[in-house]
Chain A
Amino acid sequence: MSEGYFIFELGATRLGVPATSIETVLEPQRASPLPQAPSYLLGLIPFGQEALALMDLRAFLRLELDSADETMPRILVLQTGDLRVGIEVDRAIGVIDVTNDEINPVEVLQGGRLKDFLHGEMDDDGNLTGLLDIDALLNGARV
């Protein structure tokens, strides 16, 4: 049994979220900051008739500021349950199919708080990729 994962990069870290949780991908834009928000919360951006919270995933996961070779920043709009949030990524790669037996326990990816929000890691053609637990991530980051 396989599931589609949307793969993206944060610096040198390669991550994936279930493709079904991706609502859309936006061009980067400046957010209006919110008072008393934690530092990983960049603020709000207009999204249709609503306001979308924008999150600095790298800051939330406390990943180091290493840079990818080639960046093309995007905002991924993620949704799970009643929670919808935009996350800034350095590069959006695309969707891959992942079978259950390809997913391994998290052993190699250990940076920052990464391990708390991964439900597994996998080798995608030689690229170590962490698969995020989207419920844990968004519920852990909500304020």
Chain B
Amino acid sequence: MSVGGPVPMIDPTPLMVALPLIWAVSSLILSRPWRDRLLWLWLAAMIGAVAWLWRTVAAAGALEHQVGGWDAPLGILLRADGPAVAFIVVSALVATGTAVFASRYLRDEPGDRHFWPLFGFLWGGLNAIWLAGDLFNLYVGLELVSLSAVGLTALAGSAEALAAALRYLLAALMGSLAWLLGVALLYAGHGTLDAALLASTLQPGATAAIALALMTAGLALKTALFPLHGWLPPAHGGALTPVSALLSALVVMASFYVLARVWLQLGPALGAGAPLAGAMQLLGWLGAGALCWGSWQALRQRRLKLVVAWSTVAQIGYFFLLFPLVVGQSADAAELGWQGSLLMVLGHALAKAAMFLAAGNLALAIGSDDVDALAGVSHFLPRSLFSFGLAGVSLMGLPPSAGFTGKWLLMQSALASGQWWWLVVLVLGSVLSVAYIFRIFQKSFIEGPERDWFVHPPLRQDLAALVLALASIALGLGAMPLLALAGLDAAR
């Protein structure tokens, strides 16, 4: 790559999808010793490619790549802009941490053989979503992610896991079809699937409104927005630990990312007016409902992983504050709201992955997933509990975490756009999350007389959780480069 050249001849964009797919296929063929060796080589290649893409886009701006040289609309367009790169970097962090954890954790689990191919397909599908330049490839990406996520959910093999996987699959399939139906209507009306082109040619009217409503409903179902969240807690709470981390951190983020980009690109073209503002307020209020109901349920759960899974339902509520705060608001308020949402979403991915991995370590150590069984664990497992706590700091929104910076920016945005009621929602959500996270701590500091043995989780698993938790704190401290790269202008 020549420095300062117009467009580099070899660009790293297609590697984001190709490398995970290569791993998915080769891990299916190879068995134990060779697969483990290839895993490290492949992870190093992925990290290298992601770093390369980041540097290229930060230096030269967004990249566009036509796979195989085929033009849109029949070809596949990959568009690596600022927000896409931010999501690629964070999902690479989460996926690498989870892979390190899983490489040790799965040795004793029956799902070992099938985890790795599905992991590869999931990562490839996620990167395809971050990079997709048109609505139909988003559909393919969403389906790839859903199908591998369902397979991963079922890996635990128990009856509960199978029921959770089926429930998840039925919800995800209907969500995808609703999306596709919306895409069909948009294509019929405008003759293009290119998101950027649609934004400039979209004609406001009943067809566009119905199409966007269908797409939004489908994606809300896939993101598990309250009150469509029923499938999430059993699926995320009952899966194997590394799977829970991937599902809660990344998969939920994928359908939200699509929804956010669709509204940011197409929302303004619908024309500002009462219906648009009303729809955005409705999405925000559903988010507020998720925040309250999810936190309340998290507070009541007896199993540790279900507490974390319900906390995901609650945190998804924060994501949806993006819509009333950004779409159709003044430039200042929208920029603040976008930056805040970006930090909330990306910070949640890192913190939630860390929290699930730490919860898995705790459950492994005490041989039980019961919150009450945590009594006295603080004496023996400071490392696992520390990771859990750091992740909790970010979810509660205490400084200096990404959760704090994100909420701070969202509050600024709510003030700038004169929507004081979202301030109340943000404060209420923080108080509720403090309640359910401190409940876990309270249990772990109780002196437990009856339990006197603990298994120490493998060092590799503790480190994976710790590094991800530290990353969620670091994101709050060092948010500027990321926000500079992924500004609101780049997302539109």
Q: Is A bound to B?
A: no
Interface residues of A (CB under 8 A from B): none
